[in-house]
């Protein structure tokens, strides 16, 4: 295992003006919805720099940075990034996201290029690098810029509640650069909207005798990833594979005791498990199904490390969901859509609509007389009508299987504007700087730009770019050091051009 890099080693990376801020962010806990420590860190940092900052009612932080001398009359530019990170870790990794700093590792990729990753957890480059770029742009003497507003939003990863809480007048600027993209050769001008759905089934608990076989099935070793950015890659879903394994056992006597899978609404489930019971010969059938599904996962999703294991259940379980209700549940879970549901008809290679089977949980009532099994999912679409269609399908499955259905946290997409002035500027600067044209596109992930535009009104002109980050929302997350340097060079050039008026 590579050595954990100390803060001095991270700050020595180039450009050091960016990495010194990222090192401070990585040392400060900042899981979504538990961001008090990172907000305090930002306030302390800004105060030490002599800047004015304020925090609104939903904990967004707005920093006012004065212009470079001689450029005070340039229009305001807003640099926007989010403060929180997705707290994901590998099984067996000891890490408390509420208290522990992210352990950073400087490593090499297969081509020998330098990357930064974390030790068994998410890295938080999404969107810590964006925050670091904004702070560096406002403070580095090598940057020429007009007056800046730094908008650091809260709780982006778990509901975008910071962006949703913005009000007209929260910031003054009418042009905004979102620093939350993950490809250094792309400019984004649009994104998908999203909606959370939770289906909950309640079943009576059926007492089971000790003559029934009991075992634990676990799905591990999957890549996981971002449920928007990686959903088109066909990566395995642990929740999907768990349901498939149980169905492939082809046992009418199968009874579910517990099910659990996934951990985040916006991450493809990497791990899942279930405890099940059945009559004599049941375990052998489950083991055969596990071998089959493991081989299928490796072949169809290129999940080389996929494992489907059957083990003894550690605890005794005196009750289970009945065989009839188990079949009813598994049928419904198998019918729920997962993955790409449609491609954009006018934008090649852009996913228009998708659904992610995010988290699966079981709760046995305090009286032991019932089970509640819940599947939470996140649907995304750049089309409101196709979003409605996906939600209608999920709702229909829920109704046919007698589930309680809850839709929440719906947010709009960001409608592409090909005539955007700031997009035109960014395209021109990219061509001048790198002697090639950037890829101009929309993204299937949920950038905050659509919500920001809706909330503040007034026709804010927006564009999004950032460095190369892969594996976001999973412990495989990594950022390329040279790419951070490229994005820094580009951001400096864009700000210098915007400072002219």
Q: Which position has the token pair 């042009």?
A: 175
Which SS3 state, helix, strand or coil, does residue 436 take? coil
Q: How far apart are CA 429 and CA 450, in angstroms?
A: 24
Would strands 77-82 and 148-153 be described as parallel, antiparallel, or unpaired? parallel
Please confirm, yes or no, whether 84 is among the known catalytic residues: yes
- Torsion from C-alpha of 258, 264, 267, 272, nearest 10 degrees: -20
Q: How far apart are CA 213 and CA 32, in angstroms?
A: 41
Please confirm, yes or no, whether 482 is among the known catalytic residues: no
Question: In sequence order, what are the residues at sequence separation of 6 or more whose Cβ sits closer than 8 angstroms to the Cβ of residue 106?
Answer: 2, 5, 9, 10, 13, 114, 115, 116, 481
Are the CB atoms for 237 and 357 separated by under 8 Å? Answer: yes
Closest to 451 measured CA to CA, from 195, 131, 128, 87? 195
Tell me which H or E stretch contains 82. Answer: strand 77-82
Instruction: Choose, from 88, 156, 213, 325, the residue flagged as catalytic.
Output: 156
Instruction: Choose, from 84, 126, 196, 294, the residue flagged as catalytic.
Output: 84
| Beta bridge mates, 443 | 191
Region class of 367: left (phi > 0), else alpha (psi between -120 and 50), else beta: alpha
Which positions are annotated as active-site residues?
Answer: 84, 156
């Amino acid at each position: 295992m590579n050595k954990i890099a100390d803060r001095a080693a991270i700050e020595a990376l180039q450009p050091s003006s960016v990495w010194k801020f990222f090192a401070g962010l990585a040392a400060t806990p900042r899981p979504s919805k538990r961001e008090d420590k990172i907000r305090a860190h930002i306030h302390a940092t800004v105060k030490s720099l002599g800047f004015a900052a304020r925090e609104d009612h939903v904990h967004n932080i707005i920093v006012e940075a004065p212009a470079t001398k001689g450029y005070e009359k340039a229009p305001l530019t807003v640099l926007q990034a989010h403060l929180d990170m997705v707290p994901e870790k590998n099984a067996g990794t000891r890490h408390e996201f509420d208290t522990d700093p992210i352990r950073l590792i400087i490593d090499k990729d297969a081509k020998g290029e330098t990357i930064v990753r974390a030790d068994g957890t998410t890295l938080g480059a999404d969107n810590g690098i964006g925050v670091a770029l904004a702070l560096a742009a406002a403070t580095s003497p090598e940057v020429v810029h007009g007056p800046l507003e730094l908008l650091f939003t809260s709780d982006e990863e778990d509901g975008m509640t910071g962006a949703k809480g913005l009000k007209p007048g929260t910031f003054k600027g009418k042009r905004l650069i979102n620093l939350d993209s993950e490809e250094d050769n792309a400019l984004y001008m649009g994104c998908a909207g999203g909606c959370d759905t939770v289906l909950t089934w309640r079943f009576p608990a059926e007492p089971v005798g000790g003559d029934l076989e009991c075992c634990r099935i676990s799905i591990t070793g999957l890549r996981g990833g971002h449920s928007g950015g990686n959903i088109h890659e066909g990566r395995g879903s642990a929740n999907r594979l768990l349901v498939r394994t149980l169905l492939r056992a082809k046992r009418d006597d199968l009874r579910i005791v517990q099910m659990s899978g996934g951990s985040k609404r916006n991450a493809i489930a990497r791990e899942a498990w279930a405890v099940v019971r059945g009559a004599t010969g049941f375990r052998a059938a489950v083991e055969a199904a596990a071998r089959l599904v493991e081989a299928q996962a490796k072949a169809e999703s290129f999940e080389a490390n996929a494992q489907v294991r059957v083990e003894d259940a550690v605890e005794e379980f005196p009750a289970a969901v009945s065989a009839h209700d188990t079949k009813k549940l598994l049928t419904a879970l198998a019918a729920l859509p997962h993955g790409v549901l449609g491609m954009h008809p006018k934008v090649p290679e852009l996913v228009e609509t998708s659904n992610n089977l995010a988290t699966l949980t079981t709760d046995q009532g305090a009286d032991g007389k019932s089970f509640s099994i819940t599947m939470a999912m996140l649907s995304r679409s750049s089309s409101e009508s196709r979003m409605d269609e996906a939600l209608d399908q999920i709702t229909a499955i829920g109704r046919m299987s007698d589930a309680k259905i809850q839709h929440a946290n719906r947010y709009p997409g960001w409608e592409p504007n090909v005539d955007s002035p700031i997009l035109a500027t960014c395209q021109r600067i990219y061509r001048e700087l790198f002697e090639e044209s950037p890829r101009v596109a929309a993204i299937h992930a949920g950038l905050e730009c659509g919500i920001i535009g809706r909330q503040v009104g007034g026709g804010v002109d927006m564009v999004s770019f950032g460095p190369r980050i892969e594996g976001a929302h999973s412990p495989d997350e990594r950022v390329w050091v040279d790419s951070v340097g490229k994005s820094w060079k580009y951001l400096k050039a864009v700000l210098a051009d915007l400072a002219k008026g």
